């Protein structure tokens, strides 16, 4: 297990700055997700950690040691690509044992290891199959087994679940968690699905345009996003514009006390309150919160949840979602309330 540290990493392709002074600390044994939209630099970051690319600036440490001059095969890390990259002319067993063969491990030992890894990824009996004879989900398991064959201290997974359908994804998510916990590894995986990132990882680095916008637990990022990009990437959000007056936030004449519901922002910069849809309560008054009159203008049943759209007196629209409770009357006036603790402030 190794701690991984990226220090001020920058990378250019031609003249395009793809990574811009990235800093990231992954503790030994942690499972971390790199999350962000297509093209933000997630795969490039993994390739730099694996040693398939070198940075133009900055340092990469495994433990306390820089690995910039350490070759790919000596880094004790392994990168699993989303399109498996199995050797088509080799059996499943030979694919898994390939890295061990390169390291001079005897035939008997590497075959025994391949068999035990096939058990671990739940594919016993598949050793004699060729890649074209197995499904996409099975190929993904084989490529994981191949990666684990060399007992890596650092496992790097590039969108391991993106080619799999919904049910298989769940199985693979469980398998990745199980393998990570069993094998004493530090694992970093790339995804563009925020729910998957929250489900699997201890921490999430949310990336945008070559920068890490925020790094923390899923809950922290969801509840306390540092900016609108992060808030929107993590789900639906309502934004209410207001103003700071005498140390409080005012939305029209509604006063919201500013406690610690913002990060290191200068109070005077705050101009927006963010509210997640599930934190809006319908037709119940709260004491330590705001209460607003609104009209229901849309109701959508989405299975297990109802999504509503409301219009406030000043024309501002809000979305809310509730489980089960039904407020079915369109155009009817109702009361919306939000507890102060569920309001997060931002500067937009
Ligand atoms: N070898 C390369 N040469 C030139 N440009 C590259 C190279 N590799 C990546 N890029 C560019 O760098 C940017 C970041 O690519 P990267 O693959 O890291 O993004 P990503 O966040 O992993 O995206 P995705 O989710 O689509 O895989 C993209 O604009 C891409 O076109």
User: Taking CA 218 as the corner, what is the angle to CA 217 and CA 220, rounded to the nearest 5 degrees?
Assistant: 65
CA of 41 to the centre of ligand 1 (A): 6
Helix (H) or strand (E) holding 99: helix 92-102
**Full strand arrangement of the beta sheet holding 65-66:** 16-26, 4-13, 57-62, 65-66
Q: Return the structure tokens found at 300.
A: 């959508």
Q: How far apart are CA 221 and CA 236, in angstroms?
A: 13
- What local confidence, expressed as pLDDT, does residue 333 receive? 86
Helix (H, G, I), strand (E, B) or coil at 142: helix
Tell me, using a 6 A CB cutoff, whether residue 35 lines ligand 1.
no
Helix (H, G, I), strand (E, B) or coil at 72: helix
Q: Return the structure tokens found at 162.
A: 């993106």
What are the residues facing 312 on neighbouring strands? 294
What angle in degrees, to the nearest 10, is found between the helix axes of 107-120 and 136-148?
A: 130
Report yes or no: 60 and 76 within 8 Å, Cβ to Cβ.
Answer: no
Tell me, using a 6 A CB cutoff, whether residue 42 lines ligand 1.
yes
Q: Work out which ligand 1 atom sits closest to the CA atom of 82.
A: 27
Q: How far apart are CA 232 and CA 285, in angstroms?
A: 28
Tell me, using a 6 A CB cutoff, whether residue 211 lines ligand 1.
no
Q: How far apart are CA 128 and CA 93, in angstroms?
A: 7
CA of 39 to the centre of ligand 1 (A): 5
Residue 2 CB neighbour total at 10 angstroms = 22
Q: Return the structure tokens found at 7.
A: 């220090």
Buried b (16+ CB within 10 A) or exposed e, 135-160: eebbbbbbbbbbbbbbebbbbbbbbb
pLDDT mean for each 10 residues of the chain (348 residues): 94 96 96 96 96 96 94 90 86 94 91 93 93 91 91 92 78 89 92 91 97 96 94 94 89 84 76 95 88 91 90 92 75 88 92
Q: How far apart are CA 268 and CA 262, in angstroms?
A: 12
- What local confidence, expressed as pLDDT, does residue 203 receive? 97
- What local confidence, expressed as pLDDT, does residue 252 receive? 81
Report all structural domains of the chain as residue ranges with CATH numbers, in order of start.
4-229 (3.40.50.300), 236-346 (2.40.50.140)
CA of 43 to the centre of ligand 1 (A): 7
- What local confidence, expressed as pLDDT, does residue 123 receive? 92
Of 43, 158, 196, 233, the residue with max ligand 1 atoms within 8 A of its CB, to mutate for a pocket test, comes to 43
Phi, psi at 219, each rounded to 5°? -65, -45
pTM of the model: 0.90
CA of 223 to the centre of ligand 1 (A): 29
- What local confidence, expressed as pLDDT, does residue 17 receive? 96
ipTM of the complex: 0.96
Task: Kindly give, in sequence order, each residue whose CB lies less than 8 Å from that of residue 115, ignoring residues fewer than 6 positions away.
Answer: 93, 124, 127
């Amino acid at each position: 297990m190794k701690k991984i540290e990226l220090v001020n990493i920058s990378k250019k392709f031609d003249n395009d700055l793809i990574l811009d002074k990235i800093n990231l600390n992954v503790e030994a044994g942690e499972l971390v997700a790199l999350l962000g939209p297509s093209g933000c630099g997630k795969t490039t970051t993994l390739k730099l950690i694996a040693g398939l690319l070198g940075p133009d600036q900055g340092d990469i440490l495994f433990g306390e040691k820089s690995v910039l001059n350490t070759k790919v095969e000596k880094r004790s890390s392994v990168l699993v690509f989303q399109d498996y990259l199995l050797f088509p002319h080799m059996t499943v067993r030979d694919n898994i044992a390939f890295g061990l063969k390169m390291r001079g491990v005897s035939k008997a030992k590497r075959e025994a290891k391949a068999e035990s890894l096939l058990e671990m990824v739940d594919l016993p009996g598949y050793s004699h199959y060729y890649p074209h004879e197995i499904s996409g989900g099975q190929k993904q398991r084989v490529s994981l087994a191949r990666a684990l064959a060399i007992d890596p201290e650092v496992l790097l997974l590039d969108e391991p679940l993106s080619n799999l359908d919904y049910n298989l994804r769940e199985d693979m998510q469980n398998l990745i968690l199980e393998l990570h916990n069993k094998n004493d590894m530090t694992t970093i995986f790339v995804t563009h699905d925020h729910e998957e990132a929250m489900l699997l990882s201890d921490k999430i680095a949310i990336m945008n345009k070559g920068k890490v916008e925020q790094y923390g637990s899923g809950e922290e990022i969801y509840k306390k996003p540092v900016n609108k990009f992060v808030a929107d990437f993590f789900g639906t959000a309502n934004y209410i514009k207001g103003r700071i007056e005498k140390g409080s936030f005012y939305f029209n004449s509604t006063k919201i006390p500013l406690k610690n519901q913002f990060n290191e922002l200068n109070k005077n910069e705050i101009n927006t309150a963010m509210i997640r849809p599930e934190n809006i309560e319908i037709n119940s008054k709260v004491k330590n919160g705001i209460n607003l009159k609104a009209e229901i203008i849309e109701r959508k049943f989405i299975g297990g949840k109802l999504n509503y759209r409301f219009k406030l007196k000043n024309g501002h629209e809000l979305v809310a979602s509730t489980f089960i409770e039904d407020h079915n009357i369109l155009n009817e006036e109702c009361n919306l309330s939000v507890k102060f603790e569920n309001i997060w402030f931002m500067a937009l």
